[in-house]
Each structure stands twice: as structure tokens, then as C-alpha cells.
Amino acid sequence: MKDIRMKMEDIGEFGFIRSIENNCILSPARIIKGIGDDCAVVGPYDGRLLLITTDMLVEDIHFILGKIPPEHLGEKAVNVSLSDIAAMGGEALNVFVSLAIPKQIDVDIIHTIYSGIKSVCRANNLNILGGDTSASPDRLIISITVIGEAAEGKVLLRSGANPGDGLYLTGTIGDSAAGLKLIKAEATAPEPIASRLIEAHNRPVHFLDAGRIVGSSGLASSMIDLSDGLLSDLAHICEQSHVGARIFQAALPVSRELIYMAESNRLDPYELAMSGGEDYRLLISVPARNKAKFQEIFDENAPCPVYCIGEITSGQGIELIRADNTREQVRVTGFDHFKR
Amino acid sequence: MKDIRMKMEDIGEFGFIRSIENNCILSPARIIKGIGDDCAVVGPYDGRLLLITTDMLVEDIHFILGKIPPEHLGEKAVNVSLSDIAAMGGEALNVFVSLAIPKQIDVDIIHTIYSGIKSVCRANNLNILGGDTSASPDRLIISITVIGEAAEGKVLLRSGANPGDGLYLTGTIGDSAAGLKLIKAEATAPEPIASRLIEAHNRPVHFLDAGRIVGSSGLASSMIDLSDGLLSDLAHICEQSHVGARIFQAALPVSRELIYMAESNRLDPYELAMSGGEDYRLLISVPARNKAKFQEIFDENAPCPVYCIGEITSGQGIELIRADNTREQVRVTGFDHFKR
């Protein structure tokens, strides 16, 4: 008899989330947003909204202990959650750190990971208010919860985009995926290119300042951070806003390091840029009437540039305009933990 | 040369927590309590305090998949966090569920665990607002964060106990430890005793109603839930309140099932009751002047009995008064994940 039991790899991460997200809100008072955005949003309390996000990093899935310095692992564990707060336009406040630790691991490694966690907290004035510490049979697990705040009415969800909105990114994309290929020895690159790309993967930065500027400007219609890849995360905006999107390949911000590494390894840099994960840039939609003002704010005050890469459409799915002006309907192939 | 690198099992869970808990509060505004209680306490917001607790359950450390029905595992994962909210006198509101799932596991098992999670949420009117889903190389990890609320001034910390206070428990103790011994086949018992003790371990209940009654009564001075064991958790109250405690063995609430199982396996039922973990009862200290009123409230309205088991002293450590009136200074030997 054939085994018809379904495995997680049959339904995938997003199939699983869809299967459990019904009937999750039983007390709707003060719930602005539950499952399905970068953070949950609860409130208002004294005119403020609470933002809550949680991320789990599993050894040999999200990181390989020998391939990332422990301090950088600690920094990254917090920064990826701060990126979720940034994507709502919020301010991060309090951090909870849960660790499941192999008994035989050197305490020094755990303390160094914790140093990385604390250095990010110090740099961003965050409190560590708790967590959980337990043993693990073999692999290290890091689960981080961050609670932040945003002013009422200033939170940016994934669901606000409208046809005609411009699409903006807060930085280059693809470097992290290129760095991962180097770490996994699936590609090579000379120094200092290799170090820069690996650094992009191991030490992602958050865009809390940029996110807050976007949120408080009132000029944007939606925002998300790029964790699974541009196409995959843009697809979340499209799905939740009931819109399509158009991307201009020639406008995608890619680094010289990525181009060099991709060409010398016969890889497509734009494939890495569009489908590679863990860039943690903000992807922002801005109504056409606000685009000039939005660009001006970033040109004048912001801590990072923004790049206009396309627009929201009334169509279905994502259309890619290649450099030679050919058009292609994109099949979204972002990262899914379970898919074969 | 001798290897002088320290392992986690050399410093233990609480040694590790002590080593990282300094310099964790960088923005003290609105922080009532950080690391070191059942929940973090933040606020006030509109006169309410936020309570946040997080627990991680690791396969083969906290549970063995074949030894607990998946639905019960889901229930337990939430109930242990609800117990932390109960121990502050709070109301639970919102739940975040993170899962790291082995790719090869049957989806049915995960859905059944989720059914258990949802059934507890339904019974307690809790929202599931988010979480994280990722793959795991082999073991299942469940990380639950619960956010609750309490009225300003009604939160009970571990640090409020004073000499002369009575010590109360909201239920029997030791059954869970006895059940664990049966599950691990380190002891035997006939039916229905075996099932009842195993049920105590696999299906702990929370005392949210009792905790709220205690909190709103204003009659208690401190509260904690029993996760690591009576002595270990009482030691937390003693340490944080700078007091000692005295326990009367004859007053400890132990079930007939525990007595039977312990005697027939040549175990000490009071050892299981005092040092066994995962009972999830509330341990409450009540100033002498409030004891009569406190007992009266529980006799009249409360959803559970309370048992007076001892008192807070001005001494050091915990003193045990045995049934034969002999006295003994107790060495605290609660559960530590890492200690050999």
C-alpha cells in the first residue's frame, strides 16, 4: 500500500501556515493585525500600538556554528527581528532571548553569542527582559522575541499597496545569497569580494531608522522586509493588497561584488538578487503623488538611499521587464524551509 | 594538558542566567520587572501592565514524542506559559507559537499538536497572533510566548515575601514527578493510578482563575508557579525577598495515588513532592494578618482549594519540619537542565 501520509515537505511552510491561521482571533478587541505581517499589532494603549515579532534560528538550518563567528550569530539573531519591527515603521524596545543549548558546548561560545546579542541591544538602547534557557540534545536553538511600539495610525502593513504605487528598496539585494554560496563552497570569489559578500550574509543590518522615517512620513502605503527574497516578499504584498507588480531588472540595486562573483561563477546575478533570501532590506510601496516628496526625504535626511525598482499594478502576479525590454511573468521561487 | 574550558553542565542553568543578567536594562522607563520573575512586566499603559513570558520545549529534553499524545503536548506547551501569567495574578491574552519541524514528520502530528494549542486558546479566549515556522534537522522544537495584562498595582512578584507570611499551594504536588518516573519506566503502578499520575505529568492545568483572585484580593505578598519543584521555586522567593522559609512536611498536599505509587516502588513520596518538577501549582505568600481572609476567599469562591504548607522566616534558606518534629536544613535540589 502506498504511504499517503503527508510530510511537511509536501505542504511547505506557507501551506502549513494557511492550514492553521483560521480561528486564531477569539478576542478581537485591540487586535490590529495577527498572523500574516512582519509583526503582530496590538493596541492602542495610550495612543501607542505594540508590535510583536518572534524568530527562531536552528543550528544546521539557519546557521552552521563553524561558519559564522559566534558574536555575529548573536548580532544576526537580534537584527533579523529588528528588521521586522523596522518593516512596520516602529521603534524596538524589549528583547526576549530563549536558548536551547547542547550540554557539551563550551560556555565561551554561548557567552560570545550573548555578547553579540547584547552589543546590538546596546547600540539600539534595547532591554533584555527575559527568555528561557534549557538544554538541547545536540543542536543550538536561538529564539528571539522583540516587542516594539509605533504611534497609532503610523503602522505600515503589507496590505495597503495600490496600483500605480512606486516600489522602493533601501539597499542592494543578492549579496547575502551570494555570500551563502561562498560559505557553502558552491562558488568562489577573490578577496576582498568574498569577505564582503560573506559579511552581507552573516552580518545583516536592520533599517529601523529608515523604517521610522517611512512610517512617520505618512507617504508610503505598505512595507515589508526582505527575508525570503524580493520576489517572495513582494508576492506577500501583492497577495495581501490584492494587486500585481512590475519590476524593472535594470533598476535593481546590485553591488559590484555580486556582479563580479556571479559572472566569474557563471551565475545570474539577477536570479540571486530576486530570489535570494536574507537581504533584510525594506521594500516600500509609495503612491505616485507622494513619490517626489518620498525621494526628497531620503535624499536629504535618511540614513540610507532608496532605489525605485518598479511599481504596483492592477494585474495578477509579478511581471519582470528585462534590460532588453522583454517581459516575463515571474514564477515566485522564494525560500521555503520545507519544499524539496 | 587538562581541558579547562567550561561546559554548560559546569555552570548550570542558573549560573548561566546569573552570568548574563547584568546590564540588560538600558531604557528603564516603563520597565517594572525584567529577567528573574515568572513574567516580564512592562507599563503602565492606560493603567494596565503588560506581562510577557516565553517557554521553549525541546524534543527529547522536555518531551518524548512517543510518550505524550500530540494533542496533550500542544495543550501542555501553552498551559506552562499560562501558568507563568497566573503566577503574576494576570490575565492571558495573546499567544505566539514558533515551531521548528523535522521535514520528515507527518503533518498530521503537527496539526494534532496545533489542535491541542488551539483547544487551550479556545477554552481561555486567547488569540494566536503569530510565531515562526521553520524546518529542523531532526527534533521538534516548540517555543511559546504569551502576553497578558494585569491591573496596575495588582501584580505579584517573587520579591514581596516577609517573615511571618504564610505559604500556600493551590494543589497537590509530586504527581507530575511520579508520572514522569512511570513514563520513563523507572517505576510501575497499577491502573488507574498509573494513568492518573501520567496525566498529571502530560496534562498540567493552569491556575489563571486562582492567580487572578489572589492578585485582585490584594492579600498576598508574593507568588510563583512550581515548574522546577517546590524547594527550588520556594528558594527563588527566598532569594528575591531576602528571607528564609519553613515547611511542614505533614502539611504538604500529596495525593493518595502518589503515596501508593511511591510506597510500592520504595520511593519517598515527600522527596517527589518537594523536589519533583512540573506541578505548575501556585505558591503564594500571605501576611499573617491576611491569612484568615485569604483562606475564606478560597473556601467561598475559588476554583480550587489552597493548602497552608509553612511560613516565611527571617532565617537563611529553607527549614523542613518532618512529621516526627525533627528539623532539617534543606539542600535545594530542584531541576537544573545542565547539572550532571
- Give residue-wise pLDDT tens across range B101-110: 998 899 999 9
> How far off is chain A from B271, nearest CA to CA, in Å?
23
Q: Was B276 annotated as part of a binding site?
A: no
Is the CB of A121 inside 8 Å of chain B's CB atoms? yes
Distance CA A335, CA A338 (A): 9
Task: Provide, as residue numbers in chain A, all residues whose Cβ is less than 8 Å from the Cβ of B48.
Answer: 45
- Give residue-wise pLDDT tens across range A98-109: 999 998 899 999
**Partner-chain contact B7 A93, CB within 8 Å:** no
- C-beta of residue B8 within 8 angstroms of C-beta of residue A110: yes
Task: Provide, as residue numbers in chain B, all residues whose Cβ is less than 8 Å from the Cβ of A338.
Answer: 101, 103, 135
* pLDDT of amino acid B104: 86
Which pLDDT band holds residue A17 (cuts at 50, 70, 90)? confident
Task: Provide, as residue numbers in chain A, all residues whose Cβ is less than 8 Å from the Cβ of B80.
Answer: none
Distance CA A180, CA A282 (A): 20
Provide mean pLDDT across the span A76-82. Answer: 98
**Partner-chain contact B42 A105, CB within 8 Å:** no
- Give residue-wise pLDDT tens across range B19-44: 888 899 999 999 999 999 999 999 99
Give the β-pairing of B91-102 and B127-136: parallel
* pLDDT of amino acid B146: 98
Q: How many CB atoms lie within 10 A of CB B4?
A: 5
- Give residue-wise pLDDT tens across range A223-243: 999 999 999 999 999 999 999
**Partner-chain contact A20 B111, CB within 8 Å:** yes
* pLDDT of amino acid A56: 96
Which pLDDT band holds residue B3 (cuts at 50, 70, 90)? low
Task: Provide, as residue numbers in chain B, all residues whose Cβ is less than 8 Å from the Cβ of A139.
Answer: 136-139
**Residue A235 backbone phi and psi in degrees, to 5:** -60, -35
Please give the residue of chain A at the shortest CA–CA distance from B129.
Answer: A34
| A-B Cβ pairs (cutoff 8 Å, strict) | 259
Cβ-count burial of B299 within 10 angstroms (0-12 exposed, 13-18 middle, 19+ buried)?
exposed
Q: Is the pLDDT of residue A1 over 50?
A: no
**Partner-chain contact A42 B7, CB within 8 Å:** no
Task: Provide, as residue numbers in chain B, all residues whose Cβ is less than 8 Å from the Cβ of A8.
Answer: 101-105, 107, 110, 135
The full set of domains in chain A, from first to last, is 25-151 (3.30.1330.10), 166-329 (3.90.650.10)
Q: Name the residue among A68, A6, A15, A140 with its Cα closest to residue B136.
A: A140
- Give residue-wise pLDDT tens across range B204-254: 999 999 999 999 999 999 999 999 999 999 999 999 999 999 999 999 999
Proportion of chain A above pLDDT 90, given as a percent: 88
> How far off is chain A from B83, nearest CA to CA, in Å?
15
> What is the pLDDT of chain A when averaged over all its residues?
94
- C-beta of residue B170 within 8 angstroms of C-beta of residue B207: yes
**Partner-chain contact A129 B338, CB within 8 Å:** no
**Partner-chain contact A129 B50, CB within 8 Å:** no
Residues whose CB falls within 8 Å of the CB of residue B108, separated by 6 or more in sequence, listed in order: A5, A6
Residues whose CB falls within 8 Å of the CB of residue B113, separated by 6 or more in sequence, listed in order: B70, B71, B73, B74, B77, B142
Q: Was B132 annotated as part of a binding site?
A: yes
* pLDDT of amino acid A5: 77
Q: Is the pLDDT of residue B1 over 50?
A: no
Is the CB of A210 inside 8 Å of chain B's CB atoms? no
**Partner-chain contact A45 B46, CB within 8 Å:** yes
Proportion of chain A above pLDDT 70, given as a percent: 96
- Give residue-wise pLDDT tens across range B107-166: 999 999 999 999 999 999 999 999 999 999 999 999 999 999 999 999 999 999 999 999
Using the structure block, give the residue that is written with the C-alpha cell 520587572: B33
* pLDDT of amino acid B6: 84
Hey, what amino acid is at A86? A
Distance CA A279, CA A172 (A): 8
> Using alpha carbons only, what angle is made at residue B151 by residues B145 and B153, rounded to the nearest 5 degrees?
110
Which pLDDT band holds residue B331 (cuts at 50, 70, 90)? confident
Provide mean pLDDT across the span A13-36. Answer: 91
